[in-house]
């Protein structure tokens, strides 16, 4: 069962959602308000708060060497000059020149392999806390470089089926290693999960999958192909789609965005673009070695090496303090991804077969479902923000009043035990005046944490005012008010609160408690009784508990009726 405090983060519940077990069963024995569950949770928070938290030191992302920050620039510059010089000179000398063919082979192989070497060098030099993703990325690039060497040898030197088979095996083998390296980065950048980023990535992947199947995979499968070639032509686009989905998830998700992250993303998308161009060329006039596609592949390798050599490579897996918003570029990208299915039907009107129509319809259905889930998630998040206090993480007063109205309407007629506790921090103004408002905010957050530790899952803990809190407790009758109130007071005062660097202060609270009597009680009456009890506790010297008795309850109810009658 979801806790009441979780419900305040998901929106106000309807009356149908408030079942009898949440407010005690009539005729049964209500759970003890200060039973083992409350005492154990209060004890745990007291022990944990006794230890002052020590913030982890931020990892350094720059070296003491003056050349460290410029190494990646030198790598890109040298690589670009060497590649451009070789290809331009080879074009002038003639593409049939055997010497320049060997030179191109050497440059292509050295560039792709140098990216793997740069990754391993960056691992040793910068020593990131999460080193395994970079290691897997480096191994993947090394395998990819081996596939490139096998292709160049087969194309330039020896046209042998053996080298072609080695190329295909190595090329397919680098995909799972690369995926295994990228997925931990996605998880580390969003340790608490990032459903919007996941949904947006799936939506973009749905559009890309539609275009890939209809334009790359299906035309090849319609032809006469051997089993090995058919597997290659199906496996590579599918693997590229998986990488594309991961790349979109990285770019659209949460997490820090240092320069190394941007370079890594550029490397991934450059390689995917070159793969898509290669597949399209194979369907048309054929792929020509040494053309623009090779330059795109090499640019992707250089971007990977630059990412590994950048001083911020150690921080690409760090989470961000705030999630990425919906910018214009993101909205346009998602819009175009959702149009993949409809546009395919429009562009192929009159020429679309049943397979094209089926794939397009499935793409539209999946995209619509993802958009609906995205909208529902956004609605829940907005309700959560509206019902949650930003500073303390507790429910807001508005949510408490909604739950209080539902609870009081059902409590007395059905025999449910219900109590309201108002908790006020003693001398809070003096904390703000002496130590500043940040210290007061820390005190509020700590008190909220300790009150939540005492509350049970069906209770509602809310920030009621500036330094005032409220606990709506179920299963708590008139005889149990003082015991639970004392537990709240003792838990708050158990250990000093760290309100500033090196400054600890014992914070005390005054508690006013009131319970629903046998006769029906309105929310205003219950709040009035608890507020009067709180005033009595503060007038008696603070740091104590005051309980509203039933005699006071009847007097307040009569006064409320008279005041309501006089208003007519």
Give the three-state DSSP class for 349: coil
Strands (E), 418-496: 418-425, 460-463, 468-474
Task: Name the residue with higher pLDDT: 45 or 250.
Answer: 250
List, as one string, the DSSP characters of 500-535: ETTEEE---EEEEEEE--SS---HHHHHHHHHHHHH
Predicted TM-score (pTM) of the model is 0.64
| pLDDT, position 56 | 35
Distance CA 547, CA 421 (A): 9
Helix axes 523-539, 397-414, angle to 10 degrees: 110
What the block records as the tokens of 97 is 């020149």
| pLDDT, position 28 | 41
The answer, yes or no, to whether residue 26 has pLDDT greater than 70, is: no
Q: 28-32, 258-262, 315-319 — which is least confidently predicted?
A: 28-32
DSSP conformational letter for 56: P
Contact 199, 368 (CB under 8 A): no
What the block records as the tokens of 38 is 């409350």
Contact 201, 248 (CB under 8 A): yes
**Phi–psi pair at 96, nearest 5 degrees:** -85, -5
Distance CA 299, CA 303 (A): 6
Q: What is the mean pLDDT of the chain?
A: 77
The answer, yes or no, to whether residue 264 has pLDDT greater than 90, is: yes
C-alpha to C-alpha distances, 365 to 215, 258, 274, 282, 413, nearest whole angstrom: 20, 36, 30, 31, 49
The answer, yes or no, to whether residue 61 has pLDDT greater than 90, is: no
The answer, yes or no, to whether residue 31 has pLDDT greater than 60, is: no
Share of the chain above pLDDT 90, in %: 26
| pLDDT, position 118 | 94
Q: What is the pLDDT of residues 427-467, one digit of tens each?
A: 999 998 898 999 999 999 999 999 999 988 889 999 998 89
The DSSP bridge pattern shows strands 497-500 and 509-515 to be: unpaired
Distance CA 236, CA 208 (A): 14
The answer, yes or no, to whether residue 343 has pLDDT greater than 80, is: no
Distance CA 438, CA 174 (A): 51
Q: What is the pLDDT of residues 82-107, one digit of tens each?
A: 877 766 665 555 555 556 666 777 78
Helix axes 328-338, 340-347, angle to 10 degrees: 50
The DSSP bridge pattern shows strands 468-474 and 545-547 to be: unpaired
Residues contacting residue 441 through CB under 8 Å, at least 6 positions apart: 391
* Local confidence band at 3 (pLDDT 50, 70, 90 cut-offs): low
Distance CA 95, CA 106 (A): 15
The DSSP bridge pattern shows strands 545-547 and 509-515 to be: parallel
Looking up tokens 């009847």 gives 554
| pLDDT, position 547 | 92
CA angle 395, 400, 405 (to 5 degrees): 160
| pLDDT, position 367 | 80
State the CB neighbour count (10 A cutoff) for residue 567: 6
Task: Name the residue with higher pLDDT: 295 or 401.
Answer: 401
DSSP conformational letter for 55: P
**Phi–psi pair at 298, nearest 5 degrees:** -65, -35
User: For residues 68-106, b (16+ Cβ closer than 10 Å) or e, as one string?
Assistant: eeebbeebbeebeebbeebbeebeeeeeeeeebbebbbe
Q: What is the pLDDT of residues 531-543, one digit of tens each?
A: 999 999 999 999 9
The answer, yes or no, to whether residue 515 has pLDDT greater than 60, is: yes
Contact 547, 513 (CB under 8 A): yes
| pLDDT, position 387 | 85
316: closest CA among 237, 374, 260?
260
The answer, yes or no, to whether residue 560 has pLDDT greater than 90, is: no
Looking up tokens 């995917």 gives 272
C-alpha to C-alpha distances, 193 to 5, 190, 376, 505, nearest whole angstrom: 20, 5, 17, 36
The answer, yes or no, to whether residue 5 has pLDDT greater than 80, is: no
Distance CA 425, CA 512 (A): 12
* Local confidence band at 20 (pLDDT 50, 70, 90 cut-offs): very low
**Phi–psi pair at 103, nearest 5 degrees:** -65, -40
Give the three-state DSSP class for 547: strand
Task: Name the residue with higher pLDDT: 46 or 142.
Answer: 142
Q: What is the pLDDT of residues 122-179, one digit of tens each?
A: 999 998 989 999 999 999 999 999 888 887 777 666 666 665 677 788 889 999 999 9
List, as one string, the DSSP characters of 303-340: HHHHHHHSGGGGGTTPPPSS-----HHHHHHHHHHHTH
| pLDDT, position 66 | 46
Dihedral angle of Cα 325, 132, 300, 59, to the nearest 10 degrees: 60
Q: What is the mean pLDDT of residues 275-284?
A: 80
Task: Name the residue with higher pLDDT: 60 or 334.
Answer: 334
The answer, yes or no, to whether residue 318 has pLDDT greater than 90, is: no
């Amino acid at each position: 069962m979801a806790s009441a405090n979780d419900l305040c983060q998901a929106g106000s519940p309807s009356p149908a959602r408030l079942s009898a077990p949440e407010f005690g069963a009539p005729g049964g024995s209500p759970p003890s308000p200060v039973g083992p569950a409350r005492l154990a949770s209060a004890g745990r928070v007291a022990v944990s708060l006794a230890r002052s938290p020590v913030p982890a030191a931020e990892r350094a992302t720059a070296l003491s060497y003056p050349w460290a920050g410029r190494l990646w620039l030198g790598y890109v510059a040298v690589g670009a000059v060497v590649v451009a010089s070789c290809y331009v000179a080879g074009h002038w000398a003639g593409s049939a020149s055997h010497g320049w063919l060997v030179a191109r082979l050497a440059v292509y192989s050295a560039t792709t392999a140098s990216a793997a070497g740069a990754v391993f060098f960056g691992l040793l030099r910068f020593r990131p806390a999460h080193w395994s993703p970079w290691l897997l990325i480096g191994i993947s690039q090394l395998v990819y470089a081996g596939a490139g060497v096998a292709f160049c040898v087969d194309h330039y030197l020896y046209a042998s089926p053996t080298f072609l088979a080695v190329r295909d095996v190595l090329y397919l083998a680098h995909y799972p290693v690369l995926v295994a390296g990228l997925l931990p980065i996605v998880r580390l950048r969003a340790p608490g999960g990032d459903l919007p980023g996941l949904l947006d990535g799936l939506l973009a992947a749905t559009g890309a999958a539609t275009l890939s199947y209809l334009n790359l995979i299906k035309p090849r499968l319609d032809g006469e192909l051997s089993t090995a070639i058919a597997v290659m032509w199906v496996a590579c686009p599918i693997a590229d789609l998986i990488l594309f989905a991961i790349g979109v998830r990285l770019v659209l998700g949460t997490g820090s965005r240092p320069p190394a992250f941007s370079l890594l993303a550029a490397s991934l998308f450059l390689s995917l673009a070159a793969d898509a161009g290669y597949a399209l060329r194979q369907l048309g006039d054929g792929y020509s070695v040494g053309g623009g596609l090779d330059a795109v592949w090499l640019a992707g390798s250089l971007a990977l090496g630059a990412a590994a050599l950048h001083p911020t490579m150690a921080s690409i897996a760090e989470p961000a303090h705030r999630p990425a918003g919906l910018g214009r570029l993101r909205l346009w990208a998602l819009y175009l991804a959702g149009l993949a299915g409809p546009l395919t039907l429009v562009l192929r009107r009159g020429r679309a077969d049943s397979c094209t129509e089926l794939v397009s319809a499935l793409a539209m259905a999946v995209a619509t479902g993802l958009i609906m889930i995205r909208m529902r998630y956004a609605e829940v998040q907005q309700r959560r923000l509206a019902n949650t206090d930003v500073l303390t993480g507790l429910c807001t007063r508005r949510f408490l009043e909604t739950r209080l109205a539902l609870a009081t309407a059902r409590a007395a007629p059905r025999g449910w035990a219900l109590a309201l506790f108002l908790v006020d921090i003693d001398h809070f103004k003096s904390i703000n005046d002496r130590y500043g408002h940040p210290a007061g905010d820390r005190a509020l957050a700590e008190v909220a944490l300790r009150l939540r530790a005492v509350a049970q899952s069906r209770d509602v803990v809310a920030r009621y005012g500036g330094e005032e809190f409220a606990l709506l407790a179920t299963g708590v009758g008139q005889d149990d008010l003082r015991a639970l109130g004392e537990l709240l007071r003792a838990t708050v005062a158990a250990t000093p609160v760290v309100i500033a660097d090196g400054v600890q202060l014992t914070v005390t609270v005054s508690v006013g408690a009131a319970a629903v009597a046998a006769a029906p009680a309105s929310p205003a009456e219950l709040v009035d009784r608890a507020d009067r009890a709180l005033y009595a506790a503060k007038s008696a010297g603070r740091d104590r508990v005051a309980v509203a008795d039933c005699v006071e309850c009847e007097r307040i109810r009569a006064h409320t009726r008279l005041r309501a009658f006089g208003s007519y």
